[in-house]
Amino acid sequence: MNFSQIPGQEAVIDRLRCSVAENRVSHAMLLYGPEGAGKFAIALAFARYISCESRTAEDACGVCPSCVKYDKLIHPDLHFVFPVIKKKSGTEPVSDTYISQWRSMVLKSPWFSLNNWTEAMEVANEQALIPVAEAAEIVRKLSLKSFESDFKIMIIWLPEKMNAETANKLLKIIEEPPARTLFILVSEEDDKLLPTITSRCQHIRIPSISAEALTGHLTNVTGMDPVKASEIAAIANGNMVKAMALARDDDNTGVLLDRFTRLMRTAYTRDIHSLVTWSEETAALGRERQKSFLSYSLRMIRENFVMNFGGKEKKMVHLTRDEDSFSLKFHPFINESNINALNREFNLAYAHVESNGNTKMIFLDLALKTMRLIR
């Protein structure tokens, strides 16, 4: 990952390059901001830039031995810490327990979320944390001399997943690290970090990516039609993770819209037989497709509610052309009287699907409640 591959964050990247040129690299940095803004990609590109043996003023060279190792994420002076799941054996894992899965996911794409990571670990229904055993591993690794680079670099992804005990054990080494050691903390919920941790870091806010930068990235990287890329960029609202997911599921968007319109139309006409048929068909889908549909429905409910209050004129509504065509007539039915209840029921159905509930019961219940609420 080079700086040149990160769209829409030129100001932040310039700031980081200047810190290297002026020899003012902080020993501990906190990159924080919304999901999908490119925080991890920036952290990885910055680590590569610092370690590069022939870097230019603009970027890492990409061909030196250090860059070649970074291409495979096997540089001996680059270390990762990330949330993990306790294995069934009962032993407390550390990040290195899952390092193969981590490298595979990051090399596939540096744009990912916590849900993507738990799915890569094949433990999507478990809560991932950074355990106290990780603190001892960090201290051990950083106590060693660097092997090849001037810096030993420790990237901690989602440090807010550390419990208080883990965080407290790291206070001293973050405040007084070994010489030529760099901590890069990448956070999406920096308000959940201990103040004693954040006070020891240089704070760099990573803003959401502009719609123009997202559109250009989708057009150049995926070869997507610029008009379609623009639609997806508007829906993603600055979130590259969401934009890439929408781009991958582009062919599936029509199917999701069709399933959503069928539910709403049959709910409005109170066609019980069709609602039962709809719920059985939806229950027969795989759980990931069911979750994708529920997430899509929540977005459509939100956009139609905003449209009710002139959101379209204010450019606050983000819909594709087909979605907009349906919503022109549908949006009056999503209003103050049912928006909270609809949001609650669709979120509850998502939680039940994620918990491996009986999907026939979940979707029939959702369809009947939608029938009651839509009118």
How many whole angstroms separate alpha carbon 193 and alpha carbon 175?
Answer: 15
CA 47 to chain CA centroid, Å, is: 20
Summarised one tens digit per residue, pLDDT across range 133-189 is: 999 999 999 888 878 888 899 999 999 999 888 889 998 898 888 888 999 999 999
Dmax (CA) for the chain in angstroms is 71
Backbone angles phi, psi at 203, to 5 degrees: -95, 130
* Whether pTM exceeds 0.85: no
Q: What is the pLDDT of residue 88?
A: 64
The tokens for 265 are 């139309």
Strand order in the sheet with 28-32: 78-81, 152-157, 181-187, 28-32, 202-205
Cα dist from 243 to 149, 169, 263, whole Å? 35, 38, 26
Q: What is the pLDDT of residue 354?
A: 84
Q: What is the pLDDT of residue 366?
A: 96
**pLDDT-flagged residues of the chain (< 70):** 87-90, 123-126, 249-252, 311-314
Q: What is the pLDDT of residue 251?
A: 55
DSSP single-letter state for residue 178? P
Q: What is the pLDDT of residue 19?
A: 93
Summarised one tens digit per residue, pLDDT across range 232-280 is: 888 888 889 888 887 776 556 778 889 999 999 999 999 999 999 999 9
Q: What is the pLDDT of residue 143?
A: 86
CA 321 to chain CA centroid, Å, is: 26
Q: What is the pLDDT of residue 233?
A: 86
Calculated CA dihedral for residues 61, 55, 2, 217, nearest 10 degrees: -90
Long-range contacts of 242-250, Cβ-Cβ distance < 8 Å, separation of 24 or more: 242/35, 242/36, 243/36, 243/214, 243/217, 243/218, 244/109, 244/111, 247/218, 247/222, 249/292, 250/224
Backbone angles phi, psi at 92, to 5 degrees: -80, 120
Mean of the per-residue pLDDT values of the chain: 89
Neighbouring CB atoms inside 10 A of 329's CB total 8
